[in-house]
Amino acid sequence: MQAVNVGIIGLGNVGSGTLAILTENAEQIALKLGFPLRVRALCSRSIPADQPAAADSILRTTHWRQVVAHPEVDIVAELVGGTTVAREIIDAAIAHKKSVVTANKELMAQCGAEIWDRAIAAGINLAMEASVAGGIPIHTVLREGISGDRVTALYGILNGTSNYILTEIEKHGSPFDAVLKEAQRLGYAEADPSADVDGYDARSKLAILAALAFGEKITPSDIYTEGIRRILPLDFEYAHKLGNTIRMICGAHQTTAGLILSVRPALIPQSTILAGVQGAYNAIWVRGQYGEDTFYYGRGAGAAPTGVAVVSDLMRVAREIRCGSPERVSPFAHERLGEYKPIPVTLQHSAYYLRFRVRDQPGIIASLAGALAAKHISLEAVLQLPSDNRGDLPFVITVEPTSEQSIREALAEMSAHDFLVEPPFAMPMEKSL
Ligand SMILES: NC(=O)c1ccc[n+]([C@@H]2O[C@H](COP(=O)([O-])OP(=O)(O)OC[C@H]3O[C@@H](n4cnc5c(N)ncnc54)[C@H](OP(=O)(O)O)[C@@H]3O)[C@@H](O)[C@H]2O)c1
């Protein structure tokens, strides 16, 4: 049977992983599909320029427009990343009525709904499994596997770099800066680590997942985002004393007032399945009204796991091209539906962990407790591990469930005290996990 032809633009981590799988696994892919999936064109700016057709008849070019316009290319794989050239590539592919597979979380989080509309209008297929949690087929789960359920909450560990850093701090008690440096040396963290450790990468992923899970229009700006730079090894010591650990949790949960979305470090019970997610792994926990809890775990990045996601998308799109059934319904909602409308994180109710570093003097606990009482926040426990440094004495207060707004107001009032070495640090305690 005649092959479906693929053009790959971008031959970095994901592009090279995709190409390797398409090449090495070609026979099995053809058996599963019933027809071959053939690489017809390859493009990156550093590929040997504009070779005449090589023995394998693959076009190799530095000009992505040649791939998009190639009459034999049926599906364009956009694996360049970013929001500029990638956007042009996808726009041009749609204009040429070529189906598109992308791994681009940033672009899809920013303007996925709009791109998807144009793809549907053009009658072409679009797939983006690799854009969230690399090797975990979570798009397929939300769009197909559990699409009959009504999702009420979704919690994920969606950034492998920050999870690696947190679990290394936990295991070895090393400070954040040292662990980050080592992660950079090992190639687990970028030279500019901000997208990972400050939560922006995870925020794009949560925006896409929440749109898919709740059928709501979600933009990254709807998501409260806080990174992991303030986490100290001693936070893990205190968390363990409380039977907890710390992870950067991407959460989206429904309340009676609307949807609360956040990416932030949080305390989670050591007994929860999410606490077992170590190193660069990702996981997503979905809670449904009917089917209750399901859990998905795997590698969130890397050439091969992400390559599998791209190749599987290429196979699905190829099948749809052959069978003439492109997806006609966008996974992104276009209007605020009301029921799942995002609401500010300040309306969240949770127990909180508050960590202080103080210069020792009498009356500290009384004045901090006073600030909490003024906001009607009830103290749950005060913990202090032994320390000899009277000039930088850490301790922790946990409080009973209260609103994020009240906690913020109490912390603002406390921050004025001159016995503080640094502003107090707060994390929610996700007790329902
Ligand atoms: N890395 C992962 O594990 C992972 C996981 C999930 C999703 N993703 C997503 O997958 C996408 C690709 O990520 P990556 O890690 O593979 O990035 P990467 O390693 O930086 O690769 C990007 C590729 O695009 C090429 N490129 C850049 N500008 C181009 C242009 N104008 N024309 C043609 N080629 C161009 C680059 O090669 P030249 O410089 O030679 O042009 C390079 O081959 C991103 O959207 C990323 O968010 C990555």
pLDDT tens-place string over residues 244-286: 999 999 999 999 999 999 999 999 999 999 999 999 999 999 9
Q: Is the CB of 9 under 6 A from ligand 1?
A: yes
Residue 95 pLDDT grade (very low, low, confident, very high; cuts 50, 70, 90) = very high
Record the pTM.
Answer: 0.94
Candidates 206, 209, 219, 214; CA nearest to 249 is 206
Residue 334's pLDDT band (boundaries 50, 70, 90)? Answer: low
Closest ligand 1 atom number to CA of residue 303? 3
Pocket test for ligand 1, best of 16, 19, 42, 44 (most atoms within 8 A of CB): 44
Which among 13, 115, 190, 311 is the best mutation to test ligand 1's pocket, defined by most ligand atoms within 8 Å of the CB? 13
Decide which of 296 and 219 is more confident: 296
Report the SS3 class of residue 338: coil
Is 205 an annotated catalytic residue? yes
State the pLDDT at residue 414.
95
pLDDT band at 330 (very low <50, low <70, confident <90, very high): confident
| Contact indicator for 29, 38 with CB cutoff of 8 Å | no
User: For residue 381, what is the DSSP state?
Assistant: E
Q: For residue 109, which of 235, 178, 206, 233 has the smallest C-alpha distance? A: 206
The atom number, within ligand 1, closest to the CA of 44 reads: 34
Does 107 sit in the ligand 1 pocket, CB within 6 Å? no
Confidence tier at 329 by pLDDT (50, 70, 90): confident
* Ligand 1 centre distance from Cα of residue 106 (Å): 12
Inform me whether the pLDDT recorded for 429 exceeds 90: yes
Q: Which atom of ligand 1 is nearest to the CA of 46?
A: 40
Residues in the chain: 433
CA distance 165 to 178: 10
Exposed / middle / buried, residue 77 (Cβ in 10 Å: 0-12, 13-18, 19+): buried
Question: Hey, which residues does 298 pair with through a beta bridge?
Answer: 282
Catalytically annotated residue among 98, 205, 241, 431: 205
How far does residue 33's CA lie from ligand 1's centre (Å)? Answer: 27
Q: What is the atom index within ligand 1 of the atom nearest the CA of 131?
A: 7
Q: Which two tokens stand for residue 149?
A: 């359920």
Q: What does the pLDDT read at residue 327?
A: 56
Measured from the Cα of 302, ligand 1's closest atom is 3
What DSSP character marks residue 52?
P
pLDDT tens digits along 30-71: 999 999 999 999 999 998 765 555 557 899 999 999 999 999
Q: Is 105 in the pocket of ligand 1 (CB under 6 A)?
A: yes
- The proportion of the chain whose per-residue pLDDT surpasses 70, expressed as a percent, equals 96
Confidence of residue 141 (pLDDT cuts 50, 70, 90): very high
**Ligand 1 proximity of 17 Cβ (cutoff 6 Å):** no
Query: From CA 185, how far away is CA 170, in angstroms rounded?
Result: 19
pLDDT at 57: 85
Is 348's C-beta closer than 6 angstroms to any atom of ligand 1?
no
Does residue 431 sit in helix, strand or coil?
A: coil
Measured distance CA(64)–CA(61) in Å, rounded: 7
How confident is the model over 170-218, as pLDDT tens digits?
A: 999 999 999 999 999 988 889 999 999 999 999 999 999 999 999 888 9
Task: Render pLDDT for 368-398 as a digit per residue (tens, 0 to 9).
Answer: 999 999 999 999 999 999 988 999 999 999 9
Expressed in angstroms and rounded, the spacing between residue 19 Cα and the centre of ligand 1 is 13
End-to-end CA distance of the chain: 50
Sign of CA dihedral 246, 197, 80, 212: positive
* 283/160 Cα distance (integer angstroms): 10
- Per DSSP, helices labelled H in 123-159 are 138-140
Question: What pLDDT is stored for residue 216 in this prediction?
Answer: 86
Minimum CA distance residue for ligand 1 atom 10: 103
pLDDT of residue 323: 86
Q: Is the CB of 15 under 6 A from ligand 1?
A: yes
Q: Say what the pLDDT of residue 303 is.
A: 94
Contact (CB, 8 A) for 75 and 7: yes
